[in-house]
């Protein structure tokens, strides 16, 4: 019996303990969640700051690139007047000429290529400049000038990879000028001298059409 009364006395205490502990636990949980939210908020703010910083850096880099490009174009103009014969200036003038060619600004491209061909010494860019000068003159129907550029390329740079096509272009100019026999001889020269080159196939096709 004593044990029964003792059990009855303990029951309210147990219930009271639960009533006290539950709000405390809930309060602790809320505090814990608030702490996690504050941590997440701080992390988000940090991430937002980093993203903004990266965007600003990217924007500044883009501005610097634009300024750098503008400076290069300005330097190219300077190089054209000074005629500094170094690799950097040669590449800059050539790239500018190619840009003008792609923009179909043929007069500006012609001026740039002409400047490069006459003011610098370079085994790669000069032959290419002469080739494009020949092509531009051909577009302008200036056959005599075009032939001079291709002839200069062929004679000054006989081993350049554009030389076979330059010879073939001379044949084209001769044919357009009505000099069929001379054109035929030039095409035959291309076929015999550069049998593995694509220019040879073009010349051979033209020879077959002339038969």
Q: How many domains does one find in the chain?
A: 2
Asked whether residue 164 carries a pLDDT value surpassing 90, the answer given is yes
Domain check: are 126 and 170 in the same one?
yes
CA 42 to chain CA centroid, Å, is 41
Find, among 74, 132, 64, 68, the residue nearest to 100 by Cα. Answer: 132
| Alpha-helical segments (H) within the chain | 2-82, 87-102, 106-119, 125-139, 143-156, 163-176, 180-193, 198-210
Domain check: are 186 and 108 in the same one?
yes
The percent of residues above 90 in pLDDT, for the chain, comes to 52
**Residue 180 is assigned to a structural domain of this protein:** yes
Cα–Cα distance measured from residue 136 to residue 151, given in angstroms and rounded to the nearest whole number:
15
Crossing angle for the helix pair 163-176 and 198-210, to the nearest 10 degrees? 20
Contacts (Cβ under 8 Å, ≥6 apart) of 25: none
Last residue of a domain, one of 14, 48, 82: 82
Question: Is the whole model's pTM more than 0.85, yes or no?
Answer: no
The per-residue pLDDT for 30 is 63
Cα–Cα distance measured from residue 74 to residue 81, given in angstroms and rounded to the nearest whole number:
11
Domain check: are 150 and 56 in the same one?
no
What is the pLDDT confidence band of residue 26, given thresholds at 50, 70 and 90? low
């Amino acid at each position: 019996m004593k044990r029964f009364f003792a059990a009855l006395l303990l029951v309210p205490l147990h219930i009271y303990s639960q009533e006290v502990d539950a709000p405390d636990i809930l309060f602790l949980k809320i505090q814990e969640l608030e702490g996690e939210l504050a941590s997440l908020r701080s992390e988000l703010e940090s991430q937002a700051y980093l993203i903004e910083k990266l965007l600003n850096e990217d924007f500044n880099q883009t501005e610097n690139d634009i300024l750098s490009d503008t400076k290069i174009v300005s330097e190219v103009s300077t190089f054209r007047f000074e005629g500094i014969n170094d690799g950097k200036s040669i590449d800059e003038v050539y790239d500018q000429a190619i840009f003008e060619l792609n923009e179909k600004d043929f007069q500006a491209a012609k001026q740039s290529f002409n400047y490069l061909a006459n003011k610098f010494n370079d085994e790669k860019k000069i032959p290419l400049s002469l080739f494009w000068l020949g092509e531009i003159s051909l577009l302008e129907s200036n056959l005599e000038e075009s032939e001079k550029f291709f002839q200069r390329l062929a004679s000054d740079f006989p081993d350049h990879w554009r030389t076979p096509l330059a010879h073939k272009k001379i044949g084209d100019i001769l044919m357009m000028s009505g000099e069929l026999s001379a054109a035929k001889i030039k095409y035959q020269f291309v076929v015999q001298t550069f049998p593995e080159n694509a220019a040879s196939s073009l010349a051979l096709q033209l020879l077959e059409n002339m038969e």
